[in-house]
Chain A
Amino acid sequence: MFAPRFTAFPFLVALAGCGGDAVFEYDSRPIELQRAPTALGGPALGAALARVKVGAENPWLLVETGSLLSSLSRGACPAPLAEPVVYTGDMQVLGASDNSWPLRASFRDVTLFDLCAGAVGDANTRVAGILGGDILHNLSLAFSLPRDATPATMTIYSSLPATDSDLAADGYAVIKFTLRGNTTTATESGSGLSGLPASRVVLRACGNPAAFDPYGPEQICKAGDIEGQSSGANLLLALSTGHGPLVLSASAWQRLGGQIPMPLGQGEPALFSPLVADPLPAHWVTLPRLALVDGDSGDLWPGACAELARGRRIEWTLANQDSGACFQPCDVSGGNALPAAARVEIGTDLAAAIVSDTSDLISNLNADLPLGAQVDGVIGTEALAGLRIEIDYVSQPQGRLVVACDAGVDRQTCWAAPRCLGVTGAGQTHTCFSLPPRGRAPNCPQ
């Protein structure tokens, strides 16, 4: 966490991400990471930790996709300065295995904040620096986040060259995103720092949708009734490898049907977030399941939960096509089935920390959003356990989150479904939802 006067400003800092002459060196092989506890006494499935070289020491370095800036403290902590000092320096990232700390990547001549980062996960896990989005957004980062004791890894690539359709054909769910966080702010003295690049990955999600079985009962949906047939609540979540649990605002939790005890978090462990200075009071709950859904915020987009429901109905139809299943009227346009958006369903009983809507964390996440939009929280690495993800920041015109489930994980725990395009011709087939190739299914009567 940052020095108090600095972080008292909810909109934090701003500054160039990388100098013009920054040099990155990495070998695109897995870098072993360790995981912070998710909370006090929680499992070590939390924030992604590497080591960093600081003089003769090798303290922890937090890899945090949710942070707009990178920092590395050069002196004693807590820092005596009232506001952060910015400098051009090197960040030498070391592997985090127990008995050796090999140099695995170096980011030279990058802009760094001389900040005292704080504890992550619990009070005992303190980090000396943060590898943040201002550096990471130049890259494509692959994370493997196993559920078991297998070490997590991060692999750095310059890009992810495959097209969306190739990735879908190979079984990956591709979820596109637009980077957020390009807030123009200043330090307390208004010292005129320039803006940090937008680097925060914000995803559309459906919280707590109903359970789904592709061979379960049929869902009927009349034309134009798509939103009425969905379940769960639409959420907007920032992807954060610096958090363990799912973190939700109180209002989001209430939309999901949850109760908020007053005062919030009394008698419960605090949330140690790398994005704010002080531990946050938190109410700890579990969320049965969560779905990340590809889509945009255009006027015609029905929302993550409605899109999820449509994808499930289309999957149900294809799974039961041999039994005469047909596409529901609400999923048909111009005589053809609409595409099913890529989705990732994760469960079960995800740990979640509920924090106040007015907390620094929620305010910070919403600093650059237009009026009316709301980032409801963050999705951390514990919620992503069992997944292999690649955050392709450099793809144009939008970034991409490419997701696959670990082998052997059951469907209720992880299900990554690529976008499924319908077939329009009688002789065409398509392969979706890990089903055998299917021909064109009929449309249900209106």
Chain B
Amino acid sequence: MHQAKLLITATLLLVATPTWAGPLDDPHVGSLGFSGPTTGDLTAVYWNPGALGMMQGNQFMFGASLRATGVTVNRAPIDSATGLPGGTTTFPSASGHGLEHPFAWPPGSGGFIGLGAGVAGRFAIAVAAYTPFSQKLRFDVAAGGEQPTRYHLLSVDSRQLALASGLAIELSDSLQVGVAPGLLFSYGRLVLDEDTALANPSANGPGNPGVENDSAAARYDLASSGTHAPAYFVVAGIHYRHAAWEAGFSYASAPLSNGGMIKLAMERSQVTPPSGTADLCSALGHSPCVSGEMRYRLPDIFTAGVTWHATRHLDAVAFVRWVRTSAYDQVTIRLVGPSSDSSLGRNLPSQLNLYRGFQDSWDMRARLVYAPVPWFRFSGTLRMETSAVPEANVNAAAVDGAKIEPALATEFTIGRHVKIGGGYALMWMFPVTVRDSRFDPTAASACAQAADDLSLPACQARLAGQARPTAAGTYKMMRHTLAIITTVMF
């Protein structure tokens, strides 16, 4: 019997193929090495509210992560006349960096704070704040002042802060159910360039021919002033335990309001026309003078996992998440400029459709937790993930591929009331080489020449946000995560 359990656990660990963290998701909400769908602490508000039912007494939990992401983009050479890959126009390597931590306003990603209590032995209630989705990346100016990723991304800072309350009910000695409705507060800033000559590359003149010409680049710096009206969501889960086994299953919904859309007011936006033309705000005397709205969808997530208490000192854990990232297909931005300047909407697009084209991804991870003494334990986790972005859709704003992430974590219990834990994870993405990019710069000119005829594939591509400079090239990403968490029991 014991051998059979070992075999099952080993199998679960072996099939634990890549997990998803993707360009949006925080895979380490709560703590880095111990949280999951069978964990009976306050992080269950996120992972599985059903497991809240196992929480003993009252708890306060505070955690913070420092997450450093590095991205390298080596774009393929292009033909300067068409913008398509395969020419002689080369680009320097572009480096992007993102440093995320919760100590910012609006609150940054990687933080967790929760408060909860067990009630009458059959109920548990809790409130928690965390950041389930975030993205932060800024590309440096490359050698020679070039910005090879400018038409897809110069910088992004997107945060979704969740504030949720959880309730778990113990239906029997072995079965708990829980629910955690919550509010999602969003913040965002996005900077990228628009190639205004893409529809008519020859208009750049003989001195500066071709596409991706600096003199035709308009800059869109789009920002919200802070957290805005929240969307709402719900997490529901079930937790089951029997003998040495625990199992958990949960579902976290996408935003349920606004048709599943995040609608983020971007009232601190600026649009700088191509060099040589007047600034949009010059006639008004105040800046910024462009407001707008960004819309996008977020995924819902299914999570399932098991824990086997193999011995008094050793736990084996495996869990999987199905992240329905295919919902994140497009980012739509509508902008309104000053009344004195009608160029926004005439010479500059007043609506940007940014193609994302994500796909669902699978997150599977395996973990061993060893506690040699009651006051100390440590864990080792192997996390791998499938890509949330199909290879053809990868671009500087959506860098993703198959990834692997080993993590180590430890936790000490001090006295009877305090636990302090910490961990480190190193995520490495298998390099992605995009040869056949979904982004087709020739679609812009083909559509313009056809008088914007939406019955044509080129105009459908533009409508989808694919009529942008190609993103062909090689993408690399690495991420370091350092996390600490403190739990106070009282």
Contact = CB atoms under 8 A, between A and B. Distances in A.
Given A102-B454, A404-B340, 13 more contacts: A25-B454, A27-B459, A27-B463, A29-B452, A30-B346, A155-B345, A161-B291, A162-B292, A163-B265, A169-B286, A170-B336, A170-B339, A171-B338
A437 to B, nearest CB: 8
A171 B339 contact: yes
B291 A102 contact: no
A20 B219 CA distance: 39
Contacts of B293: 159, 161-162
Contacts of A28: 334, 350-351
10 nearest interchain CB pairs?
A: A161-B293, A102-B453, A171-B339, A404-B339, A28-B351, A102-B451, A162-B291, A166-B291, A103-B455, A170-B338
Contacts of B337: 170
B25 interface: no
A100 B448 CA distance: 13
Nearest to A102: B453
B339 A172 contact: yes
Interface string A161-178: 111001101111000000
Interface of A: 25-30, 95, 97, 100, 102-106, 142, 144, 155, 157-163, 166-167, 169-172, 388, 404-407, 416, 431
A188 B434 CA distance: 64
A416 B338 CA distance: 13
B338 A27 contact: no
Given A106-B454, A161-B265, A171 B284 contact: yes
B285 interface: yes
Contacts of B290: 170
Interface in B453-467: 453-455, 459, 462-463
Mostly, the A contact residues are: loop
B345 A170 contact: no
Q: Which of A28, A104, A161, A404 has the most CB of B within 10 A?
A: A161
Mostly, the B contact residues are: loop
B418 interface: no
Interface residues of B, number: 33
A27 B452 contact: yes
B236 to A, nearest CB: 28
Contacts of A142: 345
B289 interface: yes
Nearest to A99: B451
Nearest to A170: B338
B342 interface: yes
Contact of A102 (B342, B450, B462): B450
A144 B350 CA distance: 14
B267 interface: yes
B334 A161 contact: yes
Contacts of A171: 284, 338-340
Nearest to B448: A29
A166 B267 contact: yes
Interface string B345-376: 11001110000000000000000000000000
Interface string B434-458: 0000000000000000111111000
B267 A163 contact: yes
A104 B452 contact: yes
Given A27-B459, A155-B345, A162 B452 contact: no
B289 A169 contact: yes
B345 A159 contact: no
Contact of A159 (B266, B334, B349): B334
A27 B462 contact: yes
Contacts of B336: 160-162, 166-167, 170
Contacts of B451: 95, 97, 100, 102
Nearest to A155: B345
A364 to B, nearest CB: 34
A169 B287 CA distance: 10
22 contacts: A27-B452, A27-B462, A28-B351, A95-B452, A100-B451, A102-B451, A103-B454, A142-B345, A157-B351, A159-B293, A160-B334, A162-B292, A162-B293, A163-B265, A166-B291, A166-B336, A167-B336, A169-B286, A170-B290, A170-B339, A172-B339, A404-B339
A237 B415 CA distance: 77
Contacts of A97: 451
Contacts of A162: 267, 291-293, 336
Contacts of A406: 342
Given A161-B292, A161-B293, A163-B267, A431 B454 contact: no
A407 B340 contact: yes
A162 B289 CA distance: 11
Contact of A27 (B265, B266, B346, B454): B454
Interface string B459-479: 100110000000000000000
A407 B351 CA distance: 22
A156 to B, nearest CB: 10
A161 B334 CA distance: 7
A155 B452 CA distance: 13
A166 B268 CA distance: 10
B452 A102 contact: yes
Contacts of B291: 161-163, 166-167, 170
Interface string B303-342: 0000000000000000000000000000000101111101
B173 to A, nearest CB: 48
B285 A416 contact: no
Nearest to B453: A102
A296 to B, nearest CB: 24
Q: Which of B263, B292, B334, B346 has the most CB of A within 10 A?
A: B334
A219 B285 CA distance: 30
Nearest to A29: B452
B75 to A, nearest CB: 28
B345 A30 contact: yes
Q: Which of A103, A162, A404 has the most CB of B within 10 A?
A: A162
A170 B289 contact: yes
Nearest to B459: A27
